[in-house]
Structure formats: C-alpha cells, structure tokens
Structure 1
C-alpha cells in the first residue's frame, strides 16, 4: 500500500536523532488458521521532545507496533525489520537487556490504569519497585523519590497517597500514578497507548496538559497511540495514519488533520462528531399536552456502607423525558448519571422521591406489575460484550426479551429478529453467529436491536458508543437517530461526550456530584451555557483542528485561572535531580517486577 508522506522537506529526523525508530517493521502471528500479518513493513521515528501520534481504528496494528519496542509480544509473533530505542537494537537484546531497557530507555502508559496497577500493592510499593530494580534509590531515599514523582504529576498530599491502594484513587489520579511510574527512571521515550480513552473530558484535558508539559520540560519523546482526533490535534507534532498494518499517510498535525490526502484519513475525520456541527434537529413532536414518559421528582439515591454514614449518590434530582424526545444526561464519572439510569430501570431503589414511567411510580411496584412495566423499557449497555451471553447465538440474544415475556412462537420470534437485523443494518446471516465472532460495532448494533425487540416506549442508553472507534461510532449514532425517528421512543441517553449529545439530544441535563447544575434545550445548554461547571466541560472538549484546539486550550487555561483552579502540568523544580543508574554490581537490577519482568 502506498504511503502518502506530506511532511515538509527537512522535517524528518536523521535515524541517529531518533529516540525511537521502526525501520521496515513487520509482525506476523502464527495461528491455527494460518499466518496473520498484523504490521506490514512500516517505518517511523520519534525524536526527543516530540509527540508522534499513531492513529487508526481497532485492528490497524497500532498497539502491536508499540509492543515491539518493549519486546512484549507473545511467543507466536515473528518480528522483522529493525527497532531502535536510543542506540539499542531491541531484536539483539537478551532477557536481561530487555529488563534493563524497560523503564530506563522506554516506558509505557497503558489505556486502563487499573489493569496496569497491582491492586494488592500500595502506590508507594509500586513506585519504589522500579527505582529499586534499576538501582536508582533504595529504602527511605526511594520513598522520598516516589513522593517527589507524585508531586511532579500534580497529586496532592503525595506522602499520604503512597500508603493508599489503587482503588482508593480516582481514574484521573490513577492515570497520573501510571505516568509517574513511567517517568521514574527518566526514559528517553514514553509510549502512551490510548491514555485518555476511559477518562472524562475534563480529566482527559488535565492528563494531556500533563503529557505536554512532560515532553517540554524533560525533553521526552512520546509515541501517542489513539483513535481520538481531538487528542491528536491537542498533542501531536507529527501524525502517522495506520490501516490494516500499513502506514497510509504521514505529516505534521496541521497537514494531516487540515489537508488529508488519503481517503481513509478523510473518512476518519469526517466521522468525528463536533460541537455545533450536525446538531440534532429540534423536536418536531408537540409534547406540550402529553404526559411524560419518564418523570423524576426530587429523586434521592443513597448507598449504605457498614459502619459508615450513607453515601448520597443522587440528591434531589428532577427532570422529565417526553414521548419521542431524547434527553442527554451528561457529567463526569461519579456525577450520578449511570445511577439514575439504573434507578429508572428499577435495578436499584430510590431512597426518596418518585420515579414515574408512563404514569406508574416504579418505586411502588413489585413482582408482576414491575415486570409488566419493564416490558415497555429497553436498555443499551456501555459494554455490549459483557451484556450478552457468549453461549447464545445472536438470534437467541435478540429474541431473549420475547421469550422472557412469553410473546409469540418460534416462527414469529424468528421473523421479528430478522426484521430487527434489517433495522440495525446487519446481515441476516448473523442470526446463527456468536457474539465473539462480531466486531465491537456489530455487537453494539445487536444490543440496540435487542433493546427494541418489544418496541419500548422508553429507551435507556448508558454510554453506548464510548468504547467504539470513531467511524464505527458515527455509523452506530446515525443508525440510532434513524431508529428513533422511525419508532418514536423516548430516550434517556447517558454520555460524557458532549459532541455526541449535541448530535442526538433535544434537551440536556448536566450533573455534578449527584446534583443538577443546569438543564434545558440542547442549543441553550451546549451553545450558550449559564453555569460555570458546564462551561468547564465544554472548554475541555477537544476539536480535531490544531489551531482551533490551541485556541480552545488557552481559553480553558484562562477560564481555570479566572475560577482559581490550577492548570495541570508537570511540576519540575529548578533543582530537580534526574535519576542516574548506580553500578550494576550486587545492588544492580534484579529480575521480576513491573520494570524488570518479562
């Protein structure tokens, strides 16, 4: 496949300048069904103090490429070409050489910090482990260095945090800890694999500020792997676009994002939802005289903990969803969005207040009455794979609501399933396939089909597109809009992606810490926000255009300073002493552990 290189002359570094380089890299996996060519002869360099973004959809070969730099591919992988980290050729290193390289020369920031951190070790133990394994510091000195690293990445009270476990920190704090671990041994290059995918928009903005500060102050090269074009515009100096194991286009961020030449790059960019562009059409149904499909009045939800006072997750929340209307419920993690959705489904009880669905107070219903009402409600979960029985074929997955409510016979159920497969634009041949045989986007379409099986009057969708690639997300959202116009169901759409809400919703409810801070028509809340918190959320949402994103970032920093908040950045003191490796004698690195292990 031909690569379109639109980099200006002289922009490419000489091989000796790069802190990370891939030259004619190929990766092939041997399987029972033949060889799978995951990476097909790509070449890419990362220079000191530079961010190179490697973008593409799932299965394009991005993460496989990054794993070759640390020697972390499984045993059935055959790697060709040359991978250099600094002046080391990875393919020539033995196990000891790889252990010494990891952490010292190259480090990794993974997508999900909870899987990168050991849940049974304290934050302090995990930070000092790398320092001790690489002979940088021991004992009290290692603890002091660990506290210094946490302070550098903006975690308050670092000495106290060292004694805590990963589950006691928020998602953003855990990601900062992973970044602190990555910079502990002052590596030449950091590979950041989707470092913000699971984070809220404001936390994402803070982490990107932190990574940007890292490369500016420590002159660290960063290979950023992502499918979020807004993150690319915010961070990248250069961009490489991957498709099916090939790099199809390279250039500066401005060239690739503003003047793409390859059709695949154009397709990715056209699929990105943008605030103020392709907003949802105004609600055409006259709902002034109709009763609400969902009516929450003074809702309070509490979680009771043994020996502790109850935790109030939702406090005095009131809003309505009218027939044929989509209401977007937005806010950061922990704001109470999903809790409200579960309460509306009758999955968790309300402490006080009322949840009325089609005129019935769900908090007062039990048994057959509750089951009859749930028949009129559909639900789409965030993770489609986790919400399907892996032993059931797709036909049975979609037909399950019909069987639960004893509707129809086998022939009518099959006919209904085939109609729904047509509606969500999936081949009828999928009827006998199993969930693991489908892609993420296809599984999410199956989830929507199952939710619509009983023609619900209310649909609750909890982050249904957050884990999908941008082009898959665009097709699922287009399908969702078409189905909503066709079936006219009311919908409570939970999301932290404001551009998605702008594309779908007629009205928006903004939550913070379990309370509503603002609600109203979409065009008022998202385009003319009145409340400070809504303005923060909007200011943190990245856009896929470098100059515009730089302007938005500067405006966000100005807003934060105006509101008295700190701007997230790497706190490197003037007298900061870079870690240096001690002698490799009896005190040198030992096998095992996060950095030393294979």
Structure 2
C-alpha cells in the first residue's frame, strides 16, 4: 500500500491486494459521427485504506474510467481490458451479479447530492432501501441501522433526520447522507466523483475530514475524481493524471504536485489560483496598494444601505435572508462577496439586479434609487447593468445561436440595426477570445469555458457600468477557470466596469478583488481591503473560511489542516470525523476480507425468507 508521508518518504504497495484495478482498459463509444476513443489503455490500482486521485480536465476520461467499475456505461460503449473489484471481474458478471456487487463491494458518492437523492422519499426510506435490498437489515432494525449510519457521519439528531426529505437538509448534510448510503453495505472501495465541487470551503473541509476518517478507520479504498488540486493535496496518497483518455503521469501526491514531470500536469498546476498571488501582489504573497484605474468613490456604482430581504413562506414566519447589510462598489472597482452557502450572497446579487425586492433599506445603482424608479426608468437603468450567472448552460437559450444570444440585449433595448448589431457581436467575440465562426454555432456545440465566455460577451454587449457576477467560474475546470478569469480581468481593465463578484473560492477573490465583504447568516461580519481581510482577518468566521481553503501542496496542506483543527478547537467547534468504535471498525474490516459475508449482528429478520 502506498501511503503519503509529509516528509516525502513512501511505503511500497503490496502486490495483489488491490480492492479495485483497471488493466489495459480501453473504452470506445460508437456515435452517428463515428467512434470516440474515450479511454486508451489505462492501468490503475486502488489498495485498502488508500486514496487514489484521478485528475484532468472535462473529457479526459476520468468519469468514464470509474463508471466501468460499476458496469454503468451505456450500450454504445465497447470495453476491452480487465476491471476487477476485489476478486470479481466486472465484465464477467451478469445483471444480478452486478447488482449484488454494487453496494456490497463498491459504492459511489456523486458530485451533486440533491440529484443523487430522491426528492420524494425520506432520508430514512433511502438509507433502509440499500440495507433491505442487500439483505443486511429489515424493518425496525434497518431503521435503527440507518440512524446509526447518520450518527457515524456526524449528522445530529439522526432519528429526527430520518423522517425529513432531502430539501430540508443543507448541502453538506445531504452529502453526508450520500456518504452514509455509500458505506451502509460495507463496500471495500468507494468512488467519489467530485464530492465537494458543489460545496463551499468550510463544508468541503468537513466532508474531506469525514472521507479521510472513513478510509483510516474502515480501511476503505477510495478512488477520488476531482479537478481541485487543493482537494488532491488534502486527501490523496497517489495521483493519476489523465489527458484525452491517456494516463500521462502517476506517482505519490508529493511527487506529482511538487515535482510534476509531464507538461500537461505542469499546466494544470500552473492554472490553480492561490491565496497570496492576486493583482498587485509580489512573489512572496505580499499585497501592495492596488490602484483602481477607473475608480470614482464620490459616486459609487452600487450602494447598499441597511438592506433587509425576507422570503415569505405559506403558514410560516418570514425568513430573513439578508439583515442590515451596507456596503458600496466604487466605479471601476471589483468587490468580492464571500461566505458559505446560505449566507445571502446570491440574494444580494439578485436584489442588485432588481430581481427580488427589499423589505427595507435602499439600493442605489449608479446614483439612482432602484426602489423609487418607474417601469421605463428601470428598463433604462438595467441597460447599464450586466450579469454573468454561475451555469452558462442554463443561462443561455439553447435554441439561439451564439450570435443571437450575445446580440439579444441590443434587440431588447432597440439599439442599432441588424448590420451594426452583427458588427458589435463580432467585436465582442474578439474581446472574449472566441473565433468569429462561433457566431452561427449553438451553445451545445461549445465547451463549458466557451459558453461562459459567451455569457461574459453578452453581459458586455451594452457596455455596462456595473457587472454582477454570481459564481461565474465554480463549474469550470481549473485550466478553463484560469483562462476565463484572465479574460475577465483583462476586460475589466479595458472597459472599466464596476463589479460585484460573488464567490466561495477565496483564491479567486484574492486574484480579482480590490475589496472583500464577508457574509455570515445574512449579516456582514467583516469588510475591508483585500489585504486586510484575507491577510489579517479579525473575525473568527473569516479565519475559519481562510483556514478551510486547501492549497495544492501536500506538506503545506497537512500543516494547514492541523492548524485548522487547532483553530476549531480554540473556537469550540467540532472536527468532523467518522464515529466508529474499535469493535465496529474491526468487524467492518473483517467483513471486507475477500469471501467474508455480512455479519449476523448486522442482519435483521426478513419475514419473507
């Protein structure tokens, strides 16, 4: 087994003990446009108690490789090579064998817990389903086991949570439920496919603590698929880098992340945004005063005064999402708005766009009181505001070609004639570094990064004075994110627009923002210059946010993790761990031995058997 030691020494893997292995794996998809060679001769192994991270951009073959282990590829896939889960060869199993293997031997934690959970079934029903399907427990014993699983993954009041539905839990709690489902049948290996991408940094750190505890206490092998190099540094023992279906580099986390050999790996690591490397900072991460070329503080582009926003629910008290928030965004300035999910960031952005009303307080945009304007005045003001949403696939009309999508604001506001509009669109395609030939392409023909560039171009169509960007890069690969952010910064310098940039990625905020506003539970806990807030935070909440942000260096990240745990202890917060006693841990490891069955203690009595 290969283990990571922060001093850089490694223990050799024991041959033949792999809980998951791919040998010369080839996957080709037959399509109407010809064959697509998705995976090209990949060989990998995952050993008990080890985390193997598979990294690479979208389309590199990561998820296709992992999906072969579950036998879930579509019918048009042609597979060669050997995939083993324990002592089972996946390609030799029939449907009944595959169904028995899934859950018992191998389980999966998906990227988005809300889509992985059934919204019309309670948490209890979904946890007991797997237990009953695999003959582990039934009836009251299954429900007791489900409560035990929730307790193990750190969910408080598990008996009450079993009766709730997924929408009643937070994102982090839903992901813990998915992890509880994954370990319910004592699998020998878990595939974690981007398990933290949809989570903010503090919840991400908690989930990583939980997964680390899982592999340490239960000796479970984990195949981690991610594009977040900080997560790789925090979790992985070994790393495999994939590029266009090929395995281009493998090694220990220390070797790959600190001394990459392949040019593609070097490019991936070079694209990772890092705290302390933003605009106006030197190589040592020291921030200098950043001159905002187009700044005009005498007339802010956006001014929020004592803003209060509430959501009214039928038969329930109003929920106050934003409470007494005040800050400004100067002309030509980028202000980063950060905080955990549910802190009110996106709600403030929507209010600034006039999409939701404020209960009290004032929103002034470009000197105008938003709440006091009439319909025509509002339309004229909105012409001066641009917006970039988080998911470009959902924010661009799929029936419009790219040229029409970018030029739509010109049509809505009656600007120019068809010829001048086309000219303007071509200029914007040049500005966001997309080929002019994209004018007649449809969104589905573009990659995620290209679609986000189209969204930025559309936001700039009317030359806005204020831009609201809501998590515009969180769904992108690290290299694509770097390219989009570089384009965004260049455009901001050229056009001089003010920007409210909403994000939970502190490294991205550090790269872009001149000032930072930190939100918690709808209230501002800290605000100031980027240097003061990110380098010398005063509030415990800001310190927790910064401590939770991972960095792509295993040694440094191990030190940061220990420092974070010490900080949490000082603040009285609990470090998330898998709560398994020694007897249970030993029993689970015994059940995971090849040929071992499920313990009688775990089984209930099935009245139908």
TM-score between both structures, scaled by the size of structure 1: 0.95
SS at match of 2:277: coil
CA distance in 2, matches of 1:589, 1:133: 14
Q: Distance in 1 between matches of 2:217 and 2:11?
A: 24
Deviations 1:519-568 (A, max 9, x none): 00001001110111000000000000000000000000000011111100
Question: Does the Cα contact within 8 Å between 2:296 and 2:330 map onto a contact in 1?
Answer: no
Counterpart of 2:579?
571
1:432-447 aligned at under 5 Å gives the runs: 432-447=440-455
Shift of the 306–9 alpha-carbon distance from structure 1 to 2, 3 Å rule, reads closer
Question: What does residue 497 of structure 1 align with?
Answer: 505
* CA deviation profile, 1:23-44 (whole Å, cap 9, x unmatched): 0001111111111110001000
| 1:549 maps to 2:557 | yes
| Aligned with 1:424 (options 391, 412, 432) | 432
- Deviation of residue 13 (structure 1)? 4.0
- Displacement of 1:284 after TM fit? 3.2
The 5 A counterparts of 1:4-19 are: 11-14=12-15, 16-19=16-19
Say whether residues 1:198 and 2:198 are aligned partners. Answer: yes
Partner of 1:399: 407
Q: How does 1:358-437 map to 2 (within 5 A)?
A: 358-437=366-445
Cα contact 2:297–2:331 (8 A) shared by 1? no
User: For the Cα contact (< 8 Å) 1:280–1:502, is it kept in 2?
Assistant: no
Task: Indicate the residue corresponding to 1:515 in structure 2.
Answer: 523
Deviation of 1:306 after TM superposition, in Å, equals 1.2
Please give the alpha-carbon distance, in whole angstroms, between the structure 2 residues aligned to 1:135 and 1:402: 62
Distance in 2, matches of 1:134 and 1:374, equals 57
Match of residue 88 from structure 1 = 88
> What is the match of residue 484 of structure 2?
476
By how many angstroms is 1:287 displaced? 4.4
| Aligned 8 A contact 1:321 1:491 in 2 | yes
SS of 1:17's partner is coil
Question: Is 1:535 aligned to residue 572 of structure 2?
Answer: no
1:9, distance to aligned residue in structure 2 (A)? 9.3
1:589, distance to aligned residue in structure 2 (A): 13
Kindly provide the CA deviation profile for residues 288-344 of structure 1, in whole angstroms up to 9, marking residues without a partner as x: 662111000000001111111111000000000000100000001100000000000
Q: Which residue is 2:5 aligned to?
A: none
Partner Cα distance (1:346, 1:10) in 2: 59
Once the two structures are TM-superposed, the CA of residue 200 in structure 1 deviates from its matched residue by: 0.5
**What pairs with 1:226-237 in structure 2 (closer than 5 Å)?**
226-237=226-237
What are the equivalent positions in structure 2 for 1:149-548 lying under 5 Å apart?
149-280=149-280, 282-285=290-293, 287=295, 290-548=298-556
Q: What's the CA shift for 1:582?
A: 7.2
Any gaps of 5 or more consecutive residues in structure 1? 1-6, 591-598
Of the three residues 598, 601, 608, the one matched with 1:581 is 598
Classify the secondary structure of the residue corresponding to 2:582.
coil
**Superimposed CA distance per residue, residues 259-301 of structure 1 (whole angstroms, 9 cap, x where no aligned partner):** 0000000000000000002345713337466211100000000
| Matched-pair contact (CA < 8 Å) for 1:133–1:589 | no
Give the paired residue count: 582
**Rounded Cα–Cα distance in structure 1 between residues aligned with 2:115 and 2:80:** 29
Query: 1:509–1:516: 8 Å Cα contact kept in structure 2?
Result: yes
1:486 is paired with a residue whose SS is helix
Per-residue CA shift, 1:180-216, capped at 9, x if unaligned? 0000011100000000000000000000000000000
Distance 2:429 2:109 in 1: 39
Deviations 1:94-133 (A, max 9, x none): 1111011000100000001111111111111111111111
CA distance in 2: counterparts of 1:418 and 1:28, whole angstroms:
37
Structure-2 change in CA distance of 1:338 and 1:214 (3 Å): same
Match of 1:47 in 2: 47
Check the 8 A contact 1:108/1:182 in 2, yes or no.
Answer: yes
Three-state SS of the structure 1 residue aligned to 2:489 is helix
Relative to the length of structure 2, the TM-score reads: 0.93
Structure 2 partner of 1:112: 112
Residues 37-79 of structure 1 deviation map (CA, whole Å, 9 limit, x = unaligned):
1000100000000000000010000000110001011111111
Cα RMSD (Å): 1.8
Name the residue aligned to 2:286. Answer: none
Q: Tell me how far 1:588 sits from its aligned partner.
A: 8.7
